[in-house]
């Protein structure tokens, strides 16, 4: 199928079930297929995975964005996950024969309408970036909402669309096009974030670690565990089992027990490796595999969809 895409909007809301439900309903009203929903109170963030014709996916994202801008106030928002906006990041990935140029066009349409309709300025990243220095999501989002606001008029950090001031309560949004990635977290039996941060620092590609690995270390207060939270952006080089083994090895050297892992959103089947059971993925089942969910959605089925608010302990996408 041409001009179909996977879209994974991340919203800065993971605690209020009513608001999360409104975001879910808004996505459904846009005509795309909602494949998965993850929400987490510690990160105070939810990730919705949807698929469909790019025009339908754009309408779904914009409908949910209107809800987010109306209901999320970053001036009082607190959570462990970095963010610059109520609609923090909207990545698009082409499905099947869809050309990347069509996804870039859809990203630009979403960006223009976020500013025109909701007055949320936009930064383009990934393959949709209009500046080479903004290809990496972390380079765009590094300042966070609180620090970015006073600096947004500066040419180096001025939004690509709209601005220069951020939306007073909803901040800005990052919209981009990227390949498939896996959001994969490993939980540690630790009473603070120190070990997780050391492990995350060693695993990052930018520090000489594993190819395509972006990682943060944090402590999840409500769960009482530490977490190595990863985005695996080169699944051909570092699939989930390789990342898991690396965390286990580093944790062993520090004398820290690994409790298990989790997938946020969906992952391609090939990224799991030959023996996913040994990764101790929480609630693992076919509903976490992208191809399974797409096949189910296209056939009109409902099996395993979605996992729902509160099931995920950690969120990291983009």
Q: CA of 33: how far to CAs of 37, 68, 177, 248, in Å?
A: 12, 19, 19, 36
One of 38, 43, 77, 81 is an active-site residue; which one? 81
CA-closest candidate to residue 181, choices 125, 259, 237:
237
Residue 109: Cβ within 10 Å count:
15
Of 116, 261, 99, the C-alpha closest to 185 is 261
What stretches of 142-298 show up as alpha helix (H) in DSSP? 144-151, 194-203, 240-254, 290-298
Question: With contact defined as beta carbons under 8 Å apart, do 79 and 138 qualify?
Answer: no
Is the CA virtual torsion 193, 199, 202, 203 positive or negative? negative
Q: What's the chain's length in residues?
A: 318
CA atoms within 13 A on the CB side of 39: 19
Helix axes 240-254, 194-203, angle to 10 degrees: 130
Distance in Å from the first CA to the final CA of the chain: 24
Query: Is 38 one of the annotated active-site residues of the chain?
Result: no
281 bridge partner residues: 261
> With the CA atoms of 139, 212, 294 and 50 taken in that order, what torsion angle do they form, in degrees rounded to the nearest 10?
-10
DSSP letter assigned to residue 118: H
CA–CA distance, 150 with 22 (Å, rounded to integer): 31
d(CA 184, CA 175) in angstroms, rounded, equals 21
For residue 71, give the 3-state DSSP assignment.
helix
Kindly list the catalytic residues. Answer: 81
């Amino acid at each position: 199928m041409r001009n179909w895409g996977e879209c994974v909007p991340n919203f800065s809301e993971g605690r209020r079930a009513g608001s999360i439900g409104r975001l879910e309903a808004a996505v459904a009203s846009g005509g795309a297929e909602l494949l998965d929903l993850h929400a987490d109170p510690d990160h105070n963030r939810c990730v919705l995975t949807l698929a469909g014709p790019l025009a339908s996916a754009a309408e779904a994202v914009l409908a949910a964005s209107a809800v987010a801008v109306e209901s999320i106030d970053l001036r009082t928002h607190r959570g462990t996950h970095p963010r610059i906006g109520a609609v923090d990041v909207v990545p698009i990935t082409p499905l099947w024969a869809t050309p990347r140029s069509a996804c870039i066009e859809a990203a630009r349409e979403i960006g223009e309408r976020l500013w025109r309709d909701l007055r949320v300025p936009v930064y383009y990243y990934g393959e949709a970036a209009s500046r080479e220095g903004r290809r990496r999501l972390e380079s765009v989002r590094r300042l966070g909402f609180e620090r970015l606001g006073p600096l947004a008029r500066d040419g180096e950090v001025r939004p690509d669309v709209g601005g220069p001031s951020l939306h007073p309560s909803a901040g800005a949004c990052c919209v981009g096009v990227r390949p498939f990635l896996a959001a994969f977290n490993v939980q540690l039996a630790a009473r603070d974030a120190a070990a997780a941060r050391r492990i995350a620092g060693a695993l990052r590609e930018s520090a000489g670690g594993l190819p395509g690995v972006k990682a943060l270390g944090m402590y999840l207060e409500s769960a009482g565990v530490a977490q190595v939270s990863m985005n695996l952006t080169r699944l051909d080089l570092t699939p989930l089992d390789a990342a898991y083994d690396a965390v286990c090895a580093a944790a062993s050297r520090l004398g820290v027990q690994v409790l298990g892992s989790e997938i946020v959103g969906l992952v391609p089947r090939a990224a799991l490796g030959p023996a996913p059971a040994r990764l101790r993925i929480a609630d693992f089942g076919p509903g976490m595999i992208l191809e399974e969910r797409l096949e189910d959605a296209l056939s009109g089925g409902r099996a395993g969809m979605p996992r729902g608010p509160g099931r995920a302990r950690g969120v990291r996408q983009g």
